Amino acid sequence: MTRRHFTFSCEGARLVATLDGTPGETGLLLVSGGNEVRAGAWNGQARFAARIAAEGYPVLRFDRRGVGDSEGENGEFRSSAPDIRAALEAFRAECPGLRRVIGFGNCDAASALMLAKGAGLDGLVLSNPWTIEDTAAEAPAEVVRDHYRRRLADPAAIKRLLTGQVAVGKLVRSLVAAVRPARPQPVGLAQEIAAGIAGFSGPVRLLVAERDRTGLAFVAHWQKADPRVRRCAGATHSYVEPDAQDWLLAQVLDVLAAD
């Protein structure tokens, strides 16, 4: 596998990218979430890119404007559509044999891809899309239920409850939240990202880590019967668990291999 770095332009700013693998007909554009650099937390995205490239698919990672090695002002995920489109154009220029490019994003990178209406990509793998607009607001019912399922499996938590070490008022409010009915339609940011990909004609796969608050909040805000959703039991937000990493790899490779 080869790995090289290069730069490209986005609205007058110089952005830095890393290309893994040799040119091929299908490639993966990796979009970073939050203010994370293209290598990812603890080099996670770089390792993931290497595994994808080892399967014969070139992978492009980049730092958007104002993040990592790239110039410009950081406008967060809502303003990153030009960065994604510029990265895709640079990817195609560096690998002129590309016929298909699939985009992958986790957390608000997934939401950015949806808000950008796919940004000209041929397919999307969207993991734990960010739908939480008010971090201080009461958690969705799915998140609360997951929390209490885990607490009930913890002997220490049960002991604290039985010995009066748990605030009863807070517990009652949480239990009421846990039985709230799910919303029939997406609202707020979830509605925006749903509208964003409503007209996208390529394949879309939605991935949810079942031990992740962001992923569970997405499920709470999304259409329940969406057949595009795949869930990974036991996975946390960044799929750090070995089994979850293998699951994520298999999901992405499946979309890359489809034609």
Domain-wise residue ranges, the chain? 3-131+186-257, 141-178
Token pair listed for 14: 């110089």
CA–CA separation, 3 and 111 (whole Å): 28
List, for residues 107-159, the tens digit of each pLDDT value: 999 999 999 999 999 999 999 999 998 655 555 555 555 445 545 555 665 55
CA–CA separation, 91 and 99 (whole Å): 11
CATH superfamily placement of domain 3-131+186-257: Alpha/Beta hydrolase fold, catalytic domain (3.40.50.1820)
Token pair listed for 255: 């979309």
Query: Which residues face 30 on adjacent strands?
Result: 61, 104
The number of beta carbons lying within 10 Å of the beta carbon of residue 20 is 24
User: Residue 13's pLDDT band (boundaries 50, 70, 90)?
Assistant: very high
List, for residues 60-75, the tens digit of each pLDDT value: 999 999 999 999 999 9
Pair 124, 206: CB distance under 8 Å: no
User: Residue 23's pLDDT band (boundaries 50, 70, 90)?
Assistant: confident
Q: Is 205 helix (H, G, I), strand (E, B) or coil?
A: strand
